[in-house]
Chains A and B, each alone.
Chain A
């Protein structure tokens, strides 16, 4: 019998109960949120259980919600069960003061660089990562560029006129 979203969520709630919340299915993809400390347990559960078998980590990224005070950074995992051909997505939230999340490199080797990229862009500290340093940006960079408060352009450049792009401060269109 093919695996359905309903079965997955039943198995998860019987194991984890109240720690799983905010369950919805945007565009048919089961999405839920769990508390920060349980991410490894849920990953292990989804990986090891023979009827769940989510053995492929498709994607690992982060999103910054500056308005959710205390829970600004969301780390999003996309998992895929190749045999049953079903995907699942879950999120964990962490605040910017202490953005510690357990690393998934013990379970999935592909999480290694993806977590480094997430650290590089958002500053999420993955506890237990073997080599957590910047990967795409220059090593000397001291801020986390993809957070919403930082601008896209290099503010020290002199050859581009921001006024022409509607971004200057003279007119105030911004």
Chain B
């Protein structure tokens, strides 16, 4: 359908998944439709602690708009969010709190470690900094940089979207996932 706009005409439309279409119906598998819906409407929880948080604010602002990808609504309550974006250094004092926030999130949940400090401790190889958040919670995507440019954060977000879209519905009930959670002592 012709869009009534003048400038923003080069918009990428989301394609319908492979399906069997008929007169008034379309049959696909659940995985594909649910994955499509989830990936384009992720609700992120920005867990911003330091400098990467300011780059995230720049990503959310109008210049590098993150809401183009469906992340319009930022939630601050873990119960309502899908994606935990950890941005900034996590000190050992903060570790238990991060774990608490992760535990409160409902399945399906994804975690993105933004920045060098969240991925591996960054330049702070000290006694008080957690050397990467994967010491306490499982991580899906790591975005390197100190701080990563907004384009890099968006790239990480797109990778999360492709993970979300291609995830099988049975993954969270399977053995491998259970073993992963056990390795972090999460019930």
A interface list, Cβ under 8 A from B: 136-138, 145, 150-154, 157, 159-160
Q: How far is the CA of A9 from the CA of B45 in the complex (A)?
A: 58
Q: Tell me if A's interface is mostly helix, strand, loop or mixed.
A: loop
Q: Which residues of A contact B25 (CB under 8 A)?
A: none
Closest chain B CB from A136 CB (angstroms): 8
Whether A157 and B126, one on each chain, are in contact in the complex, defined by CB atoms closer than 8 angstroms, is no
B interface list, Cβ under 8 A from A: 92-93, 120-121, 125-129, 131-132
Q: Which residues of A contact B128 (CB under 8 A)?
A: 136-138, 145
Residue in contact with B92 in the complex, picked from A138, A151, A152, CB distance below 8 Å: A138
Closest chain B CB from A95 CB (angstroms): 25
Closest chain A CB from B139 CB (angstroms): 14
Q: How far is the CA of A153 from the CA of B131 in the complex (A)?
A: 10
Closest chain A CB from B161 CB (angstroms): 29
Q: How far is the CA of A86 from the CA of B128 in the complex (A)?
A: 37
Q: Which residues of A contact B129 (CB under 8 A)?
A: 154
Whether B120 and A153, one on each chain, are in contact in the complex, defined by CB atoms closer than 8 angstroms, is no
Whether A159 and B132, one on each chain, are in contact in the complex, defined by CB atoms closer than 8 angstroms, is yes
Whether B125 and A153, one on each chain, are in contact in the complex, defined by CB atoms closer than 8 angstroms, is yes
Whether A154 and B93, one on each chain, are in contact in the complex, defined by CB atoms closer than 8 angstroms, is no
